[in-house]
A = this chain, B = another copy of it.
């Protein structure tokens, strides 16, 4: 809920420690601002200790005479002079939550911004040091992060103050804060200002030193006068004083706005976006500027507020990241634990050589995935690469070699180059040529794309009018004798084991066997691997494939190998779990659900919690063996410069640790139980989206079909011209994107501000996705919004 107003320049004041002169320097800033003739707002969110000692009291006392335009306020006040998290427990009443605190500040900012007629200044003074806990116990640097306010850091001029100043600065940077200025008192003995001036100069951060206040005078009256004189001198004094700081902060404010204003045009003329037809972009106004992001929300610019010189609207507005930033987010943006994991690995290793070497982050990740994660029970080897596409190229190379080796000389050399992939129509495995060649012809327009293999039309799952049904493609309907099979329930559909003996399973088997025989009879290069995205084909249009079909397909291809054989049989089986893996669909991996395990699998996206690229291809020992020899040239000659980069591995380890905790959290247990079906013995599927909402949505006239699993909600819109290039769902849902709800509606979501929703479409499907830790209040709020729009149509 970061906000930014032309008319109000806001700074949050953090201290390097308690007792570093935060209140005095803030008072000086307030007075200096008032002296420029502007209205000034001082806000103390939380104050502890007696009123007479309170910071806002000091401000009031020493600014009352200075200007009538100074407005001072404290939001939460406690008597005991201890840390707020202790003070609050010593008094009666509820402990205000972080949301309450942050909302209250956000509201004050908005109120002041809209009230003011000319540009005004606001200073928000925190308590203690940057990491002093606030009321809920969260440290201030973390609690206030959603506001993303530009900050001023008050440095420490005492002995040891160089260290506390630099460490505080680093703690703020770790959370992405913009630090406009560092202020500190001059001290002729310790001279911290000399050291810190050079230190921050080198880092491009503005530092100003201010004269110290006078020593405490003998009487209260003398003391007040001395301090009043001190402030007067500061704000009227020499050229290197507090007035310069105020001017500098003004400059930062306008530069930030100018920068935001300039970004769309600069991006429009320098960036070549992925998957974007630039010919369809009308101009810079079509560019979304993301200023920062926190949890599930981007902070994006409001173009009309930017353009109108006198706008009272915030230039920054929250936007729900409804595609989980291309399906990567697991724990939300700006998660401090992931940042620290990245920083720790960067500090310890940077990046280090990987061939025949090992470092702990990579080893730990490999072991976690093989022994406790998606590789459990079948995989023995982890191969690292950079993204899903490279990981799939590695997987395909592994399968092709294993297959070729088993064929031996019976495989013609020319055929090797044309070995085929068996897969499903709608598959997507990435955009490098090898990954593309494993998918059928169609969408791809790259000249070199040369589809190799055969792809079945798969049956798919959807909820229509409150009922779960399996849509069987025409080619298969002759075996199943129906194109539309009703299912008892969603959980029954995913109880693959139970369905193995149904007529539909037999129809699938007959269809697959017959097709494979026909392919063999037709000749040509053999099929060398079965490659599937289990459960859902994402980029192909969020197609929820009937898991029974995938199970029967694997069984058939393997010749119904039973149990966990150590040798692959039939064809090597690759599971592309880049999108579906690691709880995106509510389960860590799809093997247990399908009841079969791959010989090779690929994980990426969520793997690094949504922070940076990393991919792991897991393989069984019988696949690995195919590359063992005494000839270097027969090794898997594949690698990338940053193979197994420690930052990615460490972030992945931290992500998996945090997801493991989520998996047993109350929130997930509640969501799971809401989806539990008392009629079924087995309930493996569930969603963060609520069952009632999904059911109701499926009954709307405009909705053709809906599906929800894990954090994914897919809504198929009635559309005559379906397909990848269709724009109809997008058009139908345009309103959703434009609509912003009023304040009353969003108490649960990004505090106190209306928000927009960023979502993506694939042909006639609109899909919505959350992080794995998105709170249910946010999800309920998004549900309301989707419902409101779609019910109107």
Contact = CB atoms under 8 A, between A and B. Distances in A.
A428 to B, nearest CB: 11
Interface stretch (A209-217, A441-449, A482-490, A498-506): A441-449
B273 A356 contact: yes
27 contacts: A19-B159, A19-B160, A128-B160, A133-B195, A139-B162, A148-B348, A164-B164, A267-B363, A271-B363, A272-B381, A272-B624, A274-B383, A274-B638, A279-B634, A325-B350, A325-B351, A325-B353, A333-B350, A333-B352, A339-B343, A400-B446, A416-B448, A417-B450, A419-B447, A434-B448, A444-B637, A446-B638
Interface string A279-298: 11100001111111100001
Contacts of A293: 348-350, 352
Given A333-B349, A433-B433, 10 more contacts: A17-B163, A83-B162, A128-B159, A130-B163, A167-B171, A174-B346, A277-B629, A290-B359, A397-B447, A431-B637
A630 interface: yes
A604 interface: yes
Contacts of A334: 346-350
A131 to B, nearest CB: 4
A725 interface: yes
A455 interface: no
Which of A279, A280, A613 has the most C-beta atoms of chain B within 10 angstroms of its own C-beta?
Answer: A613
Contacts of A165: 131
A572 interface: no
A451 to B, nearest CB: 10
A358 to B, nearest CB: 4
Given A259-B360, A342-B647, A419-B448, A390 B386 contact: yes
A438 to B, nearest CB: 10
Interface in A128-182: 128-133, 137, 139, 145, 148, 159-160, 162-168, 170-171, 173-177
A191 B434 contact: no
Contacts of A693: none
Within the oligomer, what is the number of copies of this chain? 2
Nearest to A643: B274
Interface in A358-409: 358-360, 362-363, 366-367, 370, 380-384, 386-390, 393, 396-397, 400-401, 404
Interface residues of A, number: 171
A164 B16 CA distance: 8
A352 B167 contact: no
A86 B292 CA distance: 40
Contact of A271 (B358, B432, B578, B612): B358
A437 B448 contact: yes
A612 to B, nearest CB: 5
A337 to B, nearest CB: 8
Interface string A627-671: 111111111111111110101100000000000000000000000
A151 to B, nearest CB: 12
B612 A357 contact: no
Contacts of A353: 288, 290, 298, 321, 323, 325-326, 758
Nearest to A579: B641
B382 A272 contact: yes
A347 B356 contact: no
B352 A347 contact: no
A564 interface: no
B160 A396 contact: no
A114 B554 CA distance: 61
A279 B381 contact: no
A166 B16 CA distance: 12
A167 B131 contact: yes
A613 B266 CA distance: 25
A504 B442 CA distance: 49
10 smallest A-B Cβ distances: which pairs?
A129-B163, A176-B348, A274-B639, A18-B160, A433-B434, A176-B347, A333-B350, A267-B358, A277-B635, A167-B167
